[in-house]
Structure 1
Amino acid sequence: MKFLLIAGLADSLLNFRGPLIAALQARGLQVHVAAPDLIVDHPMRRQMESLGWTVHTVSMRRTGTNPIADLRTLCALWRVMRRVRPEYMMGYTIKPVIYGSLAAWLAGVPRRFALITGLGYAFQGEGQRGRLQAFVQRLYAVALSRVEKVFFQNPDDEALFRARTILTMSTASCVVNGSGVDVSSFNFAPLPPGPPRFLLIARLLGDKGVREYVQAARRIRKMHPDVRCTLVGWIDTNPDAITQAELDAWVNEGSIQFGGRLLDVRPAIAESSVYVLPSYREGTPRTVLEAMAMGRAVITTDAPGCRETVTDGYNGFLVPVRSVDMLQQAMLKFVNDRTLAERMGRCARKVAEEKYDVHKVNAVMLQEMGIQ
């Protein structure tokens, strides 16, 4: 039996789906993966092949709406499926879901699934972005009508797809607890000594709340210069991306320390006291789960995908979307009470173990797909 998993970003297969693929292999399935830029002899491809995965590189632009380029993606995925003849197919993120589902239907793949890991740029805002939203929703509706089941990472996204009839009543759906986190790999780490150290790890996008984080950090550091606020991530090709000029200005003024893009975020989390993600909307934020697993209290927004990870006052605080004032107030609670981060961090670790353990999450997904 063959299972084809399609991604828009190659390294997400290793970083986010590795345990799921291992679970599929443990059940005797031959796993094929498809993503852009996995050329022969690429180090990432060699790593995947060393794990027993069969790798296919496909033409796919992760962002943009060029119809010719997207048609090439559809055709490339169809050719892979006609050659491999998988019994199962699943795509995640927008283009793999849309074009992977359509290609699988055209190629006659018997069992087709989709994983909605978040709604992203096209589902937020009005004007030009609103027109893009309408276009993407129509594509989603066509593609998801061709799958057997759709997995969501939070109930708000599922409800939105149902309310807007992107997902009809004839297509089954299931909510899972995000991508999960390997709690044995992201071990509990003691807090660093001294004043609080705040951390945000994200693609540098406006929708991730990066600007709000920097504004709150700027205010707090004026009052408490010994507090450290760190930003880890990279500038993305997304239209909502932070500019290099903005980032340089923040670093030069001393509001934040910038750690760049890290292959392993565990040292950065271990050096922090509190994890902050002021995102406007998520599927379920993986970085929050990783921080919780390592015993870090979390400040995040009362927004879809984010609110599920934090019980306000127990393992962190929830703040309104776009509210710099409330974000600042939540951060100051940890500055004013140096014992709070440790107490909430231990609660966060407990939540990660009980709710977000990757093996529990994957077991639910495999059961829902009928893979025993």
Structure 2
Amino acid sequence: MKKKIIRVTTVPASLRGLLYGQLKFMSAHYNVIAISSNDEYNLLKMVSERENVPTVAIDMTRKITPIKDLISVYKLYKLFKKEKPFIVHSHTPKAGTLSMIAAKFAGVPHRLHTIAGLPLLVATGKKRWLLNTVEKITYAAASMIYPNSHGLYDIILEEKFTTKNKLKVIAHGSSNGIDVDHFSLNHFSNTTENKALKQKLNIAETDFVFIYVGRLVADKGIKELLEAFNTISKTHKDAKLLLVGDFETDLDPLDEKTLEIKDTNPQIISTGWATDVRPYFAIANVLAFPSYREGFPNVVMQAGAMELPAIVTNINGCNEIIIEGENGCIIPVRDANALHDAMLKIYNKTFVYDKAKCRELIVKRYQRQVIWDGLLQEYKNLENK
């Protein structure tokens, strides 16, 4: 019989997006069960149908909610005792803490947690102390921790969250890699469709398009991005900034000044959330991604596979995907002036890059099968322990 593996994320959108295709691949080798919270869009059902694995709904919050968290731990514990999995493997911060604790008490032999970012890095004071403590508890309950970048690996050791013998980066990094066949300009060679999208968005054929893809929140550097672009747009009327993503008003909202720039600058175009971001990459010239913190950002890999250079901040993940002067440039964090200068260099063509190299570097290091095979080998190695 196949051994059983349970994969856990806090919200089903992470199962659907972060682990796209991976659960189905692993189900050929193991009995896979996916766990996440209930949601109003039936995403868990969609994941089950697409990945061909059973799913179980156990509610988990993304905030600090002690009573609800204890209830979630208990429900996870009961499920783990019933299913007796060989591995529990969690992603996202809250799912990691709750499922690692529950799996430890349930006697699960292999408790794995993938780190795809550390929100605590932008916290201060008592909140930082609390988040550090929770992180240490998670790592203590886990039997193995997989940072999805070498930068995160180093940060975890610097913060003394755990020891080196519990840490490993799979392949070259990333939680799931990307489908380089899906993210390819070959699907967008029909210029009629590209022109139609530009016309819909009020982008002229001669316009230079900066693009940002992701959540529109403070710690993604949206304040600096809009400030830098707002200055550029005053003297460069053919520059456009395309924002593809949703606002998140609960956890990390943008300030009023940033929102005012977005609402009053006609050269800034906000599309909202998009199921397929490829058409937007296809009409853009460069990705601007000035995030404060990341694990291993899919957006930067996706843009590269679509032959776009990227302006990124000098943070883990981003500074591993981008090689200065080859497929983009790296700037300091929270530095609107540096971002402004980098955007102008690419606009003025004083920064030279190779479109083919942008894609080549992604295909070589981060295509999805490389990550899947690396993780599968890790699971296989655990069978002998």
So what's the TM-score if we normalise by structure 2?
Answer: 0.88
Deviation of the 1:338 alpha carbon: 9.0
Query: Does the 8 Å contact 1:89/1:113 carry over to 2?
Result: yes
Q: Is the alpha carbon distance of 1:335 and 1:288 closer, same or farther for their aligned partners in structure 2, counting shifts above 3 Å?
A: same
SS in 1 for 2:237: coil
The 2-side partners of 1:237 and 1:215 are apart by: 20
Identity over aligned pairs, percent:
25
The 1-side partners of 2:356 and 2:182 are apart by: 17
Q: Is the alpha carbon distance of 1:80 and 1:186 closer, same or farther for their aligned partners in structure 2, counting shifts above 3 Å?
A: same
Further displaced range: 330-339 or 281-290: 330-339
Residues 159-206 of structure 1, C-alpha deviations (whole Å, 9 max, x = no match):
222222211245243355113111011113569752321111121221
SS in 1 for 2:334: coil
Matching of residues 6-21 of structure 1 within 5 Å: 6-21=8-23
- Is residue 56 of structure 2 the alignment partner of residue 60 of structure 1? no
Q: Is the alpha carbon distance of 1:45 and 1:146 closer, same or farther for their aligned partners in structure 2, counting shifts above 3 Å?
A: closer
Q: Is the alpha carbon distance of 1:167 and 1:362 closer, same or farther for their aligned partners in structure 2, counting shifts above 3 Å?
A: same
Deviation of the 1:146 alpha carbon: 2.5
Aligned-partner residue type, residue 34 of structure 2? V
Further displaced range: 281-290 or 328-337: 328-337
Q: Name the residue aligned to 2:178.
A: 181
Matching of residues 73-112 of structure 1 within 5 Å: 73-112=72-111
The 1-side partners of 2:288 and 2:320 are apart by: 15
Q: Name the residue aligned to 2:371.
A: 361
- Is residue 309 of structure 2 the alignment partner of residue 276 of structure 1? no
Deviation of the 1:279 alpha carbon: 0.7
Aligned-partner residue type, residue 179 of structure 2? D
Query: Does the 8 Å contact 1:59/1:76 carry over to 2?
Result: no
Query: Does the 8 Å contact 1:3/1:30 carry over to 2?
Result: yes
SS in 2 for 1:145: helix
Query: Does the 8 Å contact 2:112/2:142 carry over to 1?
Result: yes
Aligned-residue CA RMSD (Å): 2.2
Query: Does the 8 Å contact 2:45/2:55 carry over to 1?
Result: no
- Is residue 130 of structure 2 the alignment partner of residue 135 of structure 1? yes
Matching of residues 223-242 of structure 1 within 5 Å: 223-242=235-254
Q: Name the residue aligned to 2:7.
A: 5
Query: Does the 8 Å contact 2:226/2:258 carry over to 1?
Result: no
Aligned-partner residue type, residue 26 of structure 1? A
The 2-side partners of 1:230 and 1:68 are apart by: 41
Aligned-partner residue type, residue 115 of structure 2? I
Residues 238-291 of structure 1, C-alpha deviations (whole Å, 9 max, x = no match):
532225884365132325110101121111111211111001121111111111
- Is residue 252 of structure 2 the alignment partner of residue 211 of structure 1? no
The 2-side partners of 1:109 and 1:100 are apart by: 11
The 1-side partners of 2:282 and 2:350 are apart by: 17
Q: Name the residue aligned to 2:150.
A: 155
Q: Name the residue aligned to 1:48.
A: 47
The 2-side partners of 1:246 and 1:328 are apart by: 16
Query: Does the 8 Å contact 1:181/1:289 carry over to 2?
Result: yes
Q: Name the residue aligned to 1:72.
A: 71
Q: Is the alpha carbon distance of 1:22 and 1:210 closer, same or farther for their aligned partners in structure 2, counting shifts above 3 Å?
A: same
Q: Name the residue aligned to 1:167.
A: 162
Query: Does the 8 Å contact 2:36/2:44 carry over to 1?
Result: no
The 2-side partners of 1:333 and 1:246 are apart by: 23
The 2-side partners of 1:112 and 1:76 are apart by: 17
SS in 2 for 1:334: helix
The 2-side partners of 1:210 and 1:203 are apart by: 9
Residues 135-176 of structure 1, C-alpha deviations (whole Å, 9 max, x = no match):
122222122123222111222221222222211245243355
Query: Does the 8 Å contact 1:35/1:56 carry over to 2?
Result: yes
- Is residue 317 of structure 2 the alignment partner of residue 305 of structure 1? yes
Query: Does the 8 Å contact 2:38/2:44 carry over to 1?
Result: no
- Is residue 31 of structure 2 the alignment partner of residue 30 of structure 1? yes
The 2-side partners of 1:334 and 1:143 are apart by: 42
Gaps of 5+ in 2: 195-204
Query: Does the 8 Å contact 1:299/1:316 carry over to 2?
Result: yes
SS in 2 for 1:197: strand
So what's the TM-score if we normalise by structure 1?
Answer: 0.90
Q: How many residues align?
A: 362
Aligned-partner residue type, residue 354 of structure 2? M
Aligned-partner residue type, residue 102 of structure 2? A
SS in 1 for 2:315: coil
Aligned-partner residue type, residue 355 of structure 1? R
